Chains A and B, each alone.
Chain A
């Protein structure tokens, strides 16, 4: 049961334009959402996060939007740069009997073209 879904496996954007990466979730117990960026053969790098009580968080070129009623979040990157080319994972946090856990989506490969 995939509780966090990234339905677009890949996205191609021109340099300077906006990149929009989407993420949908099903578990209403998720209380915090994070975006990570990952290059091949490297560990994920934390980018930006948002609490479930907010609908927007901005950090430089990165903005995350949360639509709680739709159980949908998105990451906007503007302007996109070639160095942004990577796999982006969204992750959702919740407390379980086993402690705090992050559930990851399947990732979206972003390619920023010159």
Chain B
């Protein structure tokens, strides 16, 4: 299957700082990338959908100024958690898919964020 990488795999930061997470599709061009968040023992919650070269579409309840998404190329999307607070601590996972009729999304390994 297609390979999606994320960096960093985990990060610990102080409250008030900003954290950037990178998501890359390694062997295919990802016209659409998705950012999910997972709380312990819960399902994956879609935060936003981004298409290359256009603004991200955020799900209801997700603050776009808090979670900045940039999908600058067909292989890279970034999520920046601005002014992070302890309640932002979570497991963030990106996924990607190609264009056309493809439905299957391929997921990155996730990034564990801990805000102290």
A interface list, Cβ under 8 A from B = 32, 34, 36, 41-46, 49, 89, 93, 98-102, 104-107
Contacts and interface: CB of A to CB of B under 8 A. Distances in A.
Contact of A100 (B6, B103, B107): B103
Interface in B21-37: 32, 34
26 contacts: A34-B103, A41-B110, A41-B112, A42-B109, A43-B6, A43-B93, A43-B110, A44-B93, A45-B107, A46-B104, A46-B105, A46-B106, A49-B103, A89-B43, A93-B103, A99-B32, A99-B57, A100-B32, A101-B49, A102-B34, A102-B46, A104-B44, A105-B43, A106-B42, A106-B43, A107-B43
A44 B57 contact: no
The 4 closest A-B pairs by CB, nearest first: A43-B107, A106-B43, A104-B43, A43-B109
A99 B51 CA distance: 10
Nearest to A100: B103
B1 A43 contact: no
B103 A98 contact: no
B93 A98 contact: no
Interface of B: 1, 4, 6, 32, 34, 42-44, 46, 49, 51, 57, 91, 93, 95, 97, 103-110, 112
Nearest to A6: B43
A89 B44 contact: yes
B104 A34 contact: yes
Contact of B57 (A42, A46, A93, A98): A98
Contacts of B103: 32, 34, 49, 93, 100
A36 B104 CA distance: 10
Nearest to B34: A102
Given A45-B1, A46-B105, A100-B97, 17 more contacts: A41-B110, A41-B112, A43-B4, A43-B107, A43-B108, A44-B93, A45-B107, A46-B104, A46-B107, A49-B103, A89-B43, A89-B44, A99-B51, A100-B103, A101-B46, A105-B43, A106-B43
